[in-house]
Structure 1
Amino acid sequence: MAALLVCMSFVAAPAAFAAAAAPVVDDQFERSVASGWGATTAGQQWTTSSPASTSVSSGSARVTAQPGGSTVQQLSGSTPRDITLSALVWPEATTSAGNGATVSFAVRAGGGSSYQARVRFGTSGVNLWMSRFDKTTAAEGTLVSTKPLTSYQVGQKVRVEFTVTGTSPVSLKARIWIDGTAKPTSWQQTFDDTATNRIAQAGAVQVSTYLSSGSSANSMRIDQLQIADQVSAPPASPAPTPTPTTPPGPAPTTPPAPAPTTPPAPTPTSPDAAGSLPVGKATYPVPAGAVYAVAKGTRTGSGTVSDPYGSAAYAVEKAPNGSTIVLRGGTYREYVYVGFDRKLTVQSYPGEAVWFDGSSPVTGWTKSGSTWVANGWTHVFDHRISFNANADETNRFVDSRNPLAGYPDQVWINDVPLRQVASASTVTPGTFYVDEVGKRLVIGSDPSGKKVAASTIARAFKVQGKGTMLRGFGVQRYATTLNMMGTVTAEVDGITLENLVVRDNATVGIYTWNDNQTMRKVTATGNGMLGIGANGTDNLVIADSLVSGNNTQMFKPAPVSGGMKLSGINGARVLDNVVSDNDSAGIWFDVSSYDVQVIGNRVTDNTTTGVQVEISEKATIADNYISGNDFGVQISNSGTVKVWNNTIDGVKRAIAITHDARRQGNSALAASIPWTLRDITFRNNAISYSASGSCPILTQDYESKMLGNSFGVSLNNNVYHRQSVSAPSNFACWANGASGTRSFKTMSDFSSFTGNDTRSAEWNGAAIVDSDLMLRADVVASPRATLAGLPTDVATAVGVKAGSTRLGPFSEPRR
Structure 2
Amino acid sequence: MNSQCNKHFSLHMLAKLALAVLMTTPFAVPQTAIAAAINIKRTNYGIPNGAFFVSPTGQPGNSGRSANSPWPISKAIASAPSGATIVFRGGTYRNVRLPLNKRFTLQAYPNEQPWLKGSTIITGWVKEGNIWRKDGWNYSFPPNQQARAVDPKFPMAGYRDMVYINGVPLKQVGNKARVGPGTFYVDPRNKKLYVGSNPNSKTVEATTQAEGIIVWNNSAAGSVVRGLGLAHYADQAIKIGTSGVTVENTTMARNAMEGVTVKSPNVKLRGNNISYNGRKGVGASYAHRLLLENNVISYNNLENFSTSWSASGVKILWSDGVVARGNTVANNKSMGLWADESSSNITFVNNVARNNIIGIYFEISHKAIIASNVVHNNSTAGIMILNASAARIYNNTLARNHANLLVQDTSRRNTKAKEISKGITWTTRNTVVKNNVFWNSNGPMFYAPGCAVKQASRLMIPATNNNAYYRRAASRPVNLIWGLSGNQCSQNFTSLASFRSATGLEGNSLDVVNSNDPFFINAGANDFRLKGGSPAMGRGEPLPADIANAIGVSAGRKVNLGALR
Counterpart of 2:122, as a letter, is V
In the other structure, the counterpart of 1:418 is 170
Q: Deviation of residue 612 (structure 1)?
A: 0.8
Measured in 1, the distance between the counterparts of 2:276 and 2:49 equals 37
DSSP-derived class of the 1:669 partner: helix
Aligned residue number for residue 294 of structure 2: 544
Taking the aligned partners of 2:483 and 2:58, their CA distance within structure 1 comes to 62
- C-alpha contact 1:704 1:736 (8 A) present in aligned 2: no
1:775 shift after superposition: 4.1
Contact in 2 for aligned 1:736/1:742 (Cα 8 Å):
no
Aligned with 1:399 (options 146, 151, 154): 151
Query: 2:419 is paired with a residue of what secondary structure?
Result: coil
Per-residue deviation at 1:293?
Answer: 2.0
Equivalence for 1:627: 376
CA distance in 1 between counterparts of 2:77 and 2:412 reads: 46
Give yes or no for contact 1:297–1:332 (8 Å, CA) kept in 2. no
Rounded to whole Å, the distance in 2 between the matches of 1:338 and 1:348 is 17
**Structural mapping, 1:327-338, within 5 Å:** 327-333=88-94, 334-338=96-100
Q: Which residue of 2 aligns with 1:373?
A: 133
Q: Structure 1's 515 and 295: CA in aligned 2 closer, same or farther, altered over 3 A?
A: same
Q: Shift in Å at residue 297 of structure 1?
A: 8.0
Out of 687, 709, 727, the position equivalent to 2:438 is 687
Equivalent pair of 2:537/2:561 in contact (CA under 8 Å): no
Summarize the Cα distance change of 1:315–1:701 in structure 2 as closer, same or farther, 3 Å threshold: farther
Q: Secondary structure at the match of 1:374?
A: strand
Residues 526 and 549 in structure 1, CA contact (< 8 A), matched pair in contact too: yes
Which residue among 260, 263, 266 is the counterpart of 1:513? 263
Structure 1 position 753 matched with structure 2 position 502: yes
Output one character per residue of 1:208-246: Cα deviation in whole Å (capped at 9) or x when no partner. Answer: xxxxxxxxxxxxxxxxxxxxxxxxxxxxxxxxxxxxxxx
Larger Rg: 1
Q: After the TM superposition, which of the residue ranges 543-552 and 433-442 deviates more from structure 2? A: 433-442
Alignment of 1:203-214 (within 5 A): none
Are 1:469 and 2:224 matched, yes or no?
yes
What secondary structure sits across from 2:76 in the alignment? helix
The answer to whether the Cα contact below 8 Å between 2:41 and 2:249 also exists between their aligned partners in 1 is no
Q: Identity of paired residues, percent?
A: 32
> Structure 1 residues 780 and 344 mapped into 2: Cα distance closer, same or farther (>3 Å)?
farther
Q: Contact 2:250/2:271 (CA < 8 Å) preserved in 1?
A: yes
| Separation (CA, whole Å) in 2 of partners of 1:668 and 1:686 | 37
Give the partner amino acid of 2:100. V
Normalised to the residue count of structure 2, the TM-score between the two structures is: 0.87
Corresponding residue of 1:322? 83
Asked if structure 1 preserves the Cα contact closer than 8 Å seen for 2:536 and 2:562, the reply is: no
User: In structure 2, what is the Cα distance between the partners aligned to 1:651 and 1:623?
Assistant: 16
Counterparts in 2 of 1:427 and 1:679: CA distance versus 1, 3 Å: same
Q: Decide whether aligned partners of structure 1 residues 646 and 302 sit closer, same or farther in structure 2, where only a CA change above 3 A counts.
A: same
**Paired amino acid for 2:127:** K
Tell me the amino acid that sits aligned with residue 428 of structure 2.
L
Which runs of 5 or more structure 2 residues have no equivalent in the other structure? Answer: 1-34
- Partners of 2:245 and 2:484 in 1: CA distance: 44
CA contact (8 A) 1:716 1:760 kept: yes
Aligned pair partner of 2:194 in 435, 439, 442: 442
Partner of 1:241: none
- Deviation track 1:182-217 (CA, whole Å, cap 9, x = no partner) reads xxxxxxxxxxxxxxxxxxxxxxxxxxxxxxxxxxxx
Asked whether the equivalents of residues 760 and 785 of structure 1 are also in contact (C-alpha less than 8 Å), the reply is: no
State yes or no: 1:708 paired with 2:457.
yes
Q: Distance in 1 between matches of 2:537 and 2:86?
A: 58
RMSD of aligned residue pairs (Cα, Å): 2.4
Equivalent pair of 1:636/1:677 in contact (CA under 8 Å): yes
The one-letter code matched in structure 1 to 2:353 is V
Matched residue SS, 1:487: strand
Structure 1: unaligned runs, 5 residues or longer:
1-247, 250-274, 386-392, 481-485
Residue number in structure 1 paired with 2:244: 494
Give the TM-score, by structure 1 length: 0.61
Query: CA contact under 8 A between 1:599 and 1:622: conserved in structure 2?
Result: yes
Cα distance between partner residues in 1 of 2:532 and 2:446:
21
Tell me, yes or no, if structure 1 residue 292 matches structure 2 residue 43: no
Q: 2:527 aligns with which of 742, 753, 774?
A: 774
Alignment CA distance shift 1:312-1:702 (3 Å):
farther
Q: 2:401 aligns with which of 605, 628, 651?
A: 651
Question: How many equivalent pairs are there?
Answer: 520
Q: Work out whether residues 291 and 308 of structure 1, in 8 Å CA contact, stay in contact via their aligned partners in 2.
A: no
Q: Output the CA distance in 2 between the equivalents of 1:735 and 1:582.
A: 36
Instruction: Tell whether the 8 Å contact from 1:348 to 1:354 is kept in structure 2 after alignment.
Output: yes
Aligned to 1:717: 466
**Hey, what's the Cα distance between the residues in 1 that align with 2:511 and 2:71?**
65
Partner SS for 2:270: strand
The offset of 1:321, in angstroms, is 1.3
Secondary structure of 1:470's aligned partner = strand
Q: What letter is aligned with 1:426?
A: R
Q: Which runs of 4+ in 1 moved over 6 A?
A: none
Could you report, residue by residue, the CA deviation over 1:58-108 in whole angstroms, capped at 9, with x for unpaired residues? xxxxxxxxxxxxxxxxxxxxxxxxxxxxxxxxxxxxxxxxxxxxxxxxxxx
Give how far 1:444 is off.
1.8
Of the three residues 403, 416, 419, the one matched with 1:669 is 419
Secondary structure in structure 2 of the residue aligned to 1:668: helix
Residue 789 (1) aligns with residue 542 (2): yes
Written as runs of structure 1 = structure 2, the 5 A alignment for 1:215-614 is 278-279=39-40, 281-296=42-57, 301-305=62-66, 310-333=71-94, 334-339=96-101, 342-385=102-145, 393-394=146-147, 396-464=148-216, 465-480=220-235, 486-606=236-356, 608-614=357-363
Query: 1:423–1:433: 8 Å Cα contact kept in structure 2?
Result: yes
* Residue equivalent to 2:564: 810
Shift of 1:307: 7.9
Q: Quote the Cα distance in structure 2 between the aligned partners of 1:644 and 1:359.
A: 45
2:448–2:483 CA contact under 8 A, matched in 1: yes
Q: CA deviation at 1:777?
A: 4.6
Question: CA separation in 2, counterparts of 1:455 and 1:479?
Answer: 7
* CA displacement at 1:776 relative to structure 2: 7.0
The answer as to whether partners of 1:531 and 1:550 remain within 8 angstroms in 2 is yes
Q: Which one-letter code corresponds to 1:374 in the other structure? A: K
2 CA distance for matches of 1:600 and 1:580? 14
How many angstroms does 1:296 deviate by? 4.2
Counterpart for residue 27 of structure 2:
none
Q: Which has the higher contact order (CA 8 A, sep 6+)?
A: 2
Give the number of the structure whose residues are more often strand, by fraction: 1
Separation in 2, partners of 1:467, 1:777: 42
**Residue type matched to 1:727 in 2?**
R
Residue 472 of structure 1, CA deviation? 1.0
Deviation of the 1:784 alpha carbon: 9.1
Question: How far apart are residue 739 of structure 1 and its match?
Answer: 6.1
